[in-house]
Structure formats: structure tokens, C-alpha cells
Structure 1
Amino acid sequence: MMLFKRQSCTSLTCTTKGYVRIESFEESKSPADSIRDPSPTSWNVCGSGNILCSNVEENENYALFGGKGVEVNVWDLQKCTKIWTAKSPPRNSLDIFTPMWFTSTTFLSKDDHRKFVAGTSCHQVRLYDISAQRRPVMSFDFRETPIKAVVEDLDGHTVYIGNGSGDLASVDIRAGKLLGCFIGKCSGSIRSLARHPELPIIASCGLDSYLRIWDIHSRQLLSAVFLKQHLTNVVFDSHFRTQG
């Protein structure tokens, strides 16, 4: 589920079978008194396979969807129409075909919905440009376990990636250059990453039940909190302000 920022009290949800629903709520003092949209917008984004990842771009006009057996694709949320679908990379030198299995996606820039990054279960990170071609314009392998989370930096060309064995790294996606790995490996699969909108920090969480805060410049661990359960998502509250 994703809550829209520009459209107040609007959410987008997507099931593993590809059923997408955009729904609005009327604000009220009590959650019990909130009124749901009587006619939400809904459609299906895949005919087969399972949706495992999705993302909405900054202006909330386009969304990405991808998964197991589902090529990553871009949809116009205003018209509820698919505007682009990726094409699988060609077979490698051993004539082995890489299966469709996308596990994470993110738009690369807040100002451009045409470029996005996708992580796969085959430990690949791919950069797509829908204005250039259907196949990845660049791809590289990262370690040996599935990519589980990717998030973009504010500079528009750095991405942070986390995988199934707890490795966290930053990459310059323009050339696929590994900038460095974060110090202090997580003891379980990373499932979510979040970049703070102002401060030079990122947050990670995963199956080892720890929420971790990292410095993006030194790549040092700043704080870790044990939360007693498997964690699947982390977000920053951009409206939070300390008192005093």
C-alpha cells in the first residue's frame, strides 16, 4: 500500500495477483468516522504471475509494477492504462535465459518518470529508460543473493541496495559503479530501505527484527533498535518535528 502525498487521504493498494485499487478517504477527527470513496478506481495490471513490487513516482501520475513472471511495466494512473513494458535481456553466453522475477523497484529521479531502477531475484540491478528502449540500458550483479530493496538518493543518480543476505551498499547507477558497502552487515535479509528527505541518513529493516539508521557519507551504523518481530517496511515521517 502507498499513501499519496499530493492527493490528500488517497491510497494505492495492489495485491499479488495484480488487482490495483486507488481509493480516497474523507478526513475526520476519529478514524471510525472516516468516509471511504463509494466508487474507487480499480483495474488489473497482470494476467498471470505474482506482483512483488510497485512504486509511485513523485507527481503521482505514474506507477511501476513487477514481480515473479511479470515484466516490470509502467502505468498512467490518470487513465489506468499501461504505457510501457520491459523486454527481457537476451540469453547470456551460456545460452541461459534470465527468468522474470523482479523484487524491488524505484524511480530514479523525482522530476523524471522515464528512468527507474529494478532489483531481481537473480541478484541483478537494472537501470531502465522508457524513452530509450525496452531492455535495460545498464545492469550489473551484486553479490549472490536476491536484491530485496532499492531506494534512490536525492542526487538522482545514486541508489542504495539491500539483499537477502543482509548486505547494504550504495551505487552510482550511471555506470553501475559500486561506491561502497555499509559497515556492519545485517544478520538477516533486508526487506526495506528509506532515504531521509533532508538529513544524510537512510533507514533499513528486515528479518533480523532490527531497525537501523546509517550515515550515507561514512556508511557507518548510527543506531540500531530491536523491535521483536520480522520487519517488512520502513518510512520516514517528513512532517515530524521535535518539540522545544
Structure 2
Amino acid sequence: MSKKTKATTDFNLYVGGKTGAFKGVKVDYNGIIVKNLQNVEILKPESEISFLSWNENKECDILIGTVNQTVKIYDIEFKAYSTSFEAKFGTGPIVGFARVNGAVTTCSGSGHIKVWKYKKNEQIQFSVGGEVSRMKEFYQKEGVIGLGGNKNDFKIWDIERKEKIFCAKNVKKDMLELEVPIWVTDLTFLPDSEYKVAVSTRHGQVRLYDTKAQRRPVIDINIENQSLNTITLCHNNNQVIVGSTTGHLMMADLRGKGKILHRYKGPVGSVRQVAAHPKLPYFASVGLDRYMRIHHTESRRLLFERYLKVRLNTVLMSSKFGKDLEKLDQSDDDDIECVDLEGENEFNEIFDNMETVRSEPQKKKKKIQ
């Protein structure tokens, strides 16, 4: 493919790395195209990308948050950064974005939320009173967010009123009468109901809350020996994909009492984030092993993988993703893994150019008579 074609590619995935690298990715039936969208020569350790989000539901531009609390906005149409500003409030990385009356809203790891407006007297800012690992916006109702963190159970807030709408209650004590530790790592709102939210925890739980029914989770799935980093909703809205710190990808069913349905092969390092298509059976995952992978949610097949050279924190999937991948689903070979190998060619070239080292055969020692 020519350089001109690559430059005008419409990407359907975007990833952010620990080095601050921001890459556009196009995945289709023919393979994978990757392009750096950030000048790597100016990157610093504090440039690490901590969160990616669509600025609005129209998917026209992307909000990029970093560990040093810088916000960048990338314009999809013009393929360039439209603005950048420091969003210093509280401490820790930016862990989530929201929109309030068109204004960008950030949440820091220390739990400080601020609505960034040009007129300072119109800015809204407050603290939620605890550490936050992830904040996400409820897209069906502007200004409503869900969040949680270490020793800070899941809550729903109204930003404009600075009020808690819902505060989760911990599950009952364990068999030793000890409090079950709390550490919410990620969450996802169920679109069919404004009252249901699924969360993942660092202690291996997948929980479903019905905020209109009760404060405790209505479903509590415990995954032994796993520490979960991320959760995303599948296309059927009854199942979620979760990723763990030990490289496990699993599907959990949120119907009935809840259970683990599938496990997916591929990752060998911590899975930092997963993103699923809202209507098609595909999801993407990234992690510290530097790979981006595409799986089919139902067949569990690994469709694509690509080595992206940097440890990855975040992935964002466009609604345009996957429209031409149906050909892969119709394959007669159940064991086929349609994997893009361009990333591995870099290693092949290195090894091919290495000088072969031959060890001399060891001389046999004479036996002493």
C-alpha cells in the first residue's frame, strides 16, 4: 500500500501507550494498518496516555487524557490535534471524561472532578471523597457519571448538582466475618436500562447493580485467583468481556445468577483495556505485552493480532469497525487464526541478520588407566 493511501486511511481503532504513543489502526479482511498519530520524538515519561474517549456520540473527535493531567483533542476528519490544555485538578492520572453542556469534564485519580469552561466562574469542581480508578459517562443522560476505586465502592453522581444519585453497599461479610475488600477498576452502563451497571474489581469480582432495586449487587461473580483491570459490554447487552492482570480474557454472562461463559487465548501480559463493538460480535484488547488483538466473542477465535512496539494502556473502537469481517466468520476451518504478521517480520529481519555462532565440539577426556 502506498504512503499516500496510508495517510488517508480511515482508522477504526485507536490505541494509547505508556510512552505517550497514540496510534490509529485500521482492521479489515485484508489485514491491519497502523500509523503513529503522535510525534514520538517529543514523548516523555509523563506523556503516558491513561484514558481515551469519544468527545461526543458522533465520533468526530477523541479525548486523550495523560498521567500528567493533560487533555488533547484529536480531530478524526482532519487527522490532527485540534486543541490541548492542562487539566490540573487533584492528583494522579486522568481516569475518565464526561461532557456537561458541551464542556469537557475530567476526573483525576484522587477523585477530583472539574468541568472546564472558558469562564472560571462557570466552572464546576468538587471531590468525590476517595480514590478513583475509572470514571465513565452515562451517554443517555448528560452530566451523569459512574465511578469507583480502591476502598471507594461504585457510585453514580450528578455533576451539575454535585450530588450522589446512587451509592453501592458492600456485599455481606465472608465466612470468617471479615469485610470483603473493595477496589472497583472499571465499569460499563447497560444501554437497555439507565439503572443497570456492571463493574469489575481488582479482587476478581464481576458485579451487576440494579440501582432501582437495591444497593448491593444483584449478581456477584467471583473469579478465583484473578485480578480484573477492565470490563466492556458485548453486542448482545447481556454479557461482558473482562481482562485480568495475569493476561486472562473472559466472557461473563449477566443473566440468572451469572457465570463465566468463555475464555479467550492470546495475551501473555496484563490486559489493560478491552473494547467491544455495540452491535457486532468482535472485541479488541490491549496490554503490557505490546499486542493488540481482535477476537470473535462467540466463536472465541483470534482473528487478528499485531505487535505495536509499546506497552499499551487504552483502546477505543469505532462503530464503523468490523463491517467487512463477515468473510472470516464464514470460514470452514474452525482452527484458522487470521493473524497479521507484519509486526513479527521486524524480529525476523533482526534474527536473519544475526551472525550465526557455532560452539566448538567438546574434546573427549582421556580415561586414566
What is the TM-score normalised by the length of structure 2? Answer: 0.57
1:5, distance to aligned residue in structure 2 (A): 1.8
* Matching residue's letter, 1:5: E
Correspondent of 2:228 among 139, 147, 154? 147
Contact residue 221 and residue 259 of structure 2 kept, 8 A: no
In structure 1, what is the equivalent of residue 271 of structure 2?
190
Map 1:101-112 → 2, pairs under 5 A: 101-107=183-189, 109-112=190-193
Post-superposition Cα deviations, 1:108-162, rounded to whole Å, max 9, x if no partner, equal: x213221111111111111111101111111011241211110012322111111
1:194, distance to aligned residue in structure 2 (A): 0.5
In structure 1, what is the equivalent of residue 343 of structure 2?
none
Q: Distance in 1 between matches of 2:322 and 2:206?
A: 35
Asked if 1:96 is matched to 2:178, the reply is: yes
SS at match of 1:185: coil
Post-superposition Cα deviations, 1:29-84, rounded to whole Å, max 9, x if no partner, equal: xxxxxxxx334643334223x11011112224321010012111001244332111
Asked if 1:22 is matched to 2:103, the reply is: no
Contact residue 204 and residue 227 of structure 2 kept, 8 A: yes
1:94, distance to aligned residue in structure 2 (A): 1.6
In structure 2, what is the equivalent of residue 63 of structure 1?
145
Correspondent of 2:106 among 13, 23, 46? 13
The change in CA–CA distance for 1:197 and 1:68 in structure 2 (over 3 A counts) is: same
1:23, distance to aligned residue in structure 2 (A): 3.6
Unpaired stretches in structure 1, ≥5 consecutive residues:
25-36
Contact residue 195 and residue 203 of structure 1 kept, 8 A: yes
In structure 1, what is the equivalent of residue 21 of structure 2?
none
The size of the alignment, in residue pairs, is: 227
The change in CA–CA distance for 1:58 and 1:110 in structure 2 (over 3 A counts) is: farther
In structure 2, what is the equivalent of residue 178 of structure 1?
260
SS at match of 1:47: coil
Unpaired stretches in structure 2, ≥5 consecutive residues:
1-50, 58-98, 324-369
Q: Distance in 2 between matches of 1:240 and 1:140?
A: 30
* Matching residue's letter, 1:165: T
Contact residue 275 and residue 316 of structure 2 kept, 8 A: yes
Post-superposition Cα deviations, 1:187-218, rounded to whole Å, max 9, x if no partner, equal: 10111111123432100001111111111121
Contact residue 194 and residue 235 of structure 1 kept, 8 A: yes
* Matching residue's letter, 2:286: C
Q: Distance in 1 between matches of 2:168 and 2:217?
A: 8
Higher relative helix content = 2
Percent of aligned pairs with the same residue?
30
CA RMSD of superposed structures (Å): 2.3
In structure 2, what is the equivalent of residue 224 of structure 1?
305
**Displaced runs of 4+ in structure 1, greater than 4 A?**
6-10, 239-242
The change in CA–CA distance for 1:241 and 1:86 in structure 2 (over 3 A counts) is: closer
Contact residue 235 and residue 281 of structure 2 kept, 8 A: no
* Matching residue's letter, 1:211: M
